[in-house]
Structure 1
């Protein structure tokens, strides 16, 4: 089961919301969430990391590497 070791977190204010990106430095896997700018950075960071863990675990169960690009 994969889990993020070191995570880079980025906060970007976009209008009336905050976009939070979480990137696992080991795998390069990245996820984003959109949150309320009134929420604390710790809360937003925790949600982003939880999503990153979920996505990495889902990808690991599906056979490893995340899918890149679109399949037509």
Structure 2
């Protein structure tokens, strides 16, 4: 059964790698994918939050016209 992805839908995968966890976040609409590594002792919510923020940043870099305007002097 297939369905169209909804805007903002994100798939997350948690994969243990030794004493770390690899978290992969995929935007369903665009297929853009990012990964992060974090300690296995970190909470899943913290790892999820970091992965989703990284994905949102990557999407904004891919499509600058949809990115919110920010002060270019801030880093």
TM-score, structure 2 as length reference: 0.74
How far is the alpha carbon of 1:59 from its aligned partner? 1.1
Question: 1:61: Cα distance to partner?
Answer: 2.0
Runs of 4+ in structure 1 deviating by more than 3 angstroms, as ranges, are none
Report the number of matched residues: 59
Identify the residue that residue 10 of structure 1 maps to in structure 2: 13
Match of residue 55 from structure 1 = 58
* Cα distance, 1:54 vs structure 2: 0.4
In 1, distance between residues paired with 2:51 and 2:17? 16
- If the length of structure 1 is used for normalisation, what is the TM-score? 0.77
Higher relative contact order (CA 8 A, sep 6+): 1
Q: 2:34: which partner in 1?
A: 31
Q: CA RMSD in A?
A: 1.4
Q: Which runs of 5+ in 2 are unaligned?
A: 1-6, 66-75
The alpha-carbon deviation at position 14 of structure 1 amounts to 0.4
Aligned counterparts, 1:57-72, within 5 A: 57-61=60-64
Higher CA-based Rg = 2
